[in-house]
Structure 1
Amino acid sequence: MNELFRKRIGFPEHEKLTFEALDNLLEKTATTIPFENLSILSNQIRAITKESLIDKILVKNEGGLCYQLNPLLYLFLVENGFNAALVRGVVYNEATKDWSKTGRTHVVILLQYEDQTHLVDTRFGGNLPLKPVPLNGETISSINGEFRVKALESDHGDHIFEMKLKYKDTDWKIGYAFNTKRPLKSLYELNEVQGIIVEHNESRFNKIRLITKLKCDGSVTLTDTSFTQWIDGKMTKEQIDNDTFKELAKQHFGLQER
């Protein structure tokens, strides 16, 4: 797995993975592996195991959603000697000012380093900090914007993740809440998350195809009906048909129709 993950994202095979190297690792992961739901829309659902995640993302070179990509990164970090755990979060909808009806379906990594806990998230759509974010309220800046985690007791957890995306946000927005006291006991729990994402009426990922990936100068997002590019803060959006979807999925994300 260690060799396959490094090869997939272009990280040196024999370089020791230090905490200081995580910025580079997270940026390479975000710009290489797409966030996508094609397997859900094509009804190709597999139980979540270490072996199935490796096969899907590292062997078949597909992407995935947070409950697939963050657990894969977690396994890679643990294999490289880091002290980490997975936790589930509840996403906040800024438009409706309400918490997601799907509940605790966002999966993220908590990493311990030098007596400090850090949030590591490589898949929250394109809203990625690209760096470990300490749980002490400190603001972390990257090419993608500003990010912070604050302690806040609520019905949804004991911390919230906030973001101010470059070119898009002028004020801080809540991304999600999570509970540091409820780590996943095993990968098996991810199958409950997957079941909700696949079946729940309020799930954003069981209705239309979605693929998105960060780039060094912005991002690209593809859906059934549109192709959106952000380049140096400028957005272009075009309407597309199914044939164009297939072409763009292959051209920009390396994905074949399933």
Structure 2
Amino acid sequence: MIGGIEVEALFRKRIGLPEDEPVTFEKLDEILEKTARTIPFENMRIMNQETFDITNESLIDKMLARNEGGLCYELNGLLYLFLLENGFDVTLVRGDVFNNEIGEWTKLGRTHVAIILHHEGQDYIVDTGFGGNLPLKPVPMKGEVVTSSNGQFKVEASENEYGDYVLMLKLADKDKDWRIGHVIDSKKPVTNLSEFNEIQKVLIENERSPFNKGPILMKFTDNGTVSLTDKTLTRWIDGKQHKENITETAFKEYVKNIFGIIY
């Protein structure tokens, strides 16, 4: 029970996990896949200037009662509450994302949020808020490579100004070589969700933010991903890209019909 609101039952209902199914470490792969397919990565409230203060209750209301999605701090914030309620040893951490197109960090400060999960003497990065770059599995922080339907992922120790562990990835059907995803700072855990309000403010106001330029929505599907902007609908199906230009009317319909979000 979080702040008088039971996240457990609502989260299970949202992702389609049976009420009586135990949530074990071995079950996390399935839970992460179900989450990626049902709770979209999206910035509609930022674009509509309808953001709110980040609290346990507001995250639960937004994504479990109103069936919206969110950005990294919201998606991983919600998953953290669910894992915590199921007895996992988890910590929220912050870091920065690497822009591979220009070969540098976003320089928005520590605005990416992920989870460190501690299990049987090992630490893992768990992340359901990284758009189409999700590992869909816990990734060990000792360098082992994990493989999912979305590609290969590993975590390497790498000190820089934004953190000390880097998520490396090689997406299926997209990347030939390893590339940097994001860095997290394991030495500065999030101690209060109020920190997410600082992140949200940066993403709303900073000119370098990719989330205040136009709507972005994406989620995983049974055979790939689907992403939407106000100009294009892009589907990756069995490793092949299908992209089409769309109208403003079509955009609004897709937001509702594909992503289930009503504004």
- Give yes or no for TM over 0.5: yes
RMSD: 0.7
Q: Does 1:102 align with 2:108?
A: yes
Match of 2:140 in 1: 134
What one-letter code is carried by the residue in structure 2 that aligns with 1:52?
A: S
What one-letter code is carried by the residue in structure 2 that aligns with 1:245?
A: F
Q: Does 1:23 align with 2:26?
A: no
Match of 1:150 in 2: 156
Residue deviations 1:62-109 (CA, integer Å, cap 9, x gap): 000001010100011000000000000110010100111212110000
What one-letter code is carried by the residue in structure 1 that aligns with 2:61?
A: D
Superposition TM-score, scaled by structure 2 size: 0.96
| Runs (5+) with no aligned partner, structure 2 | 1-6
What one-letter code is carried by the residue in structure 1 that aligns with 2:99?
A: N
Query: Residues of 1 paired with 2:156 and 2:47: CA distance?
Result: 35
Q: Please list, as runs of the form range in 1=range in 2, the aligned pairs for 1:227-246 lying within 5 A after superposition.
A: 227-246=233-252
Deviation at 1:152, TM superposition (A): 1.1
Match of 2:14 in 1: 8
Structure 2 residue matching 1:253: 3-state secondary structure: coil
**Any runs of at least 4 consecutive aligned residues in structure 1 with deviations exceeding 3 A, and if so which?**
none
Q: Please list, as runs of the form range in 1=range in 2, the aligned pairs for 1:119-198 lying within 5 A after superposition.
A: 119-198=125-204
Match of 1:199 among 183, 186, 205: 205
| Runs (5+) with no aligned partner, structure 1 | none
Deviation at 1:245, TM superposition (A): 0.2
Superposition TM-score, scaled by structure 1 size: 0.98
Query: Residues of 1 paired with 2:203 and 2:20: CA distance?
Result: 37
Structure 2 residue matching 1:24: 3-state secondary structure: helix
Query: Residues of 1 paired with 2:126 and 2:136: CA distance?
Result: 8
Query: Residues of 2 paired with 1:197 and 1:86: CA distance?
Result: 19
What fraction of aligned residue pairs are identical, expressed as a percent?
Answer: 54
Residue deviations 1:104-136 (CA, integer Å, cap 9, x gap): 110000000000000000010111000000000
Deviation at 1:155, TM superposition (A): 1.6
What one-letter code is carried by the residue in structure 2 that aligns with 1:44?
A: E
Match of 2:83 among 77, 99, 103: 77
Residue deviations 1:23-49 (CA, integer Å, cap 9, x gap): 000000001111000001111010000
What one-letter code is carried by the residue in structure 2 that aligns with 1:123?
A: G
Match of 1:114 in 2: 120
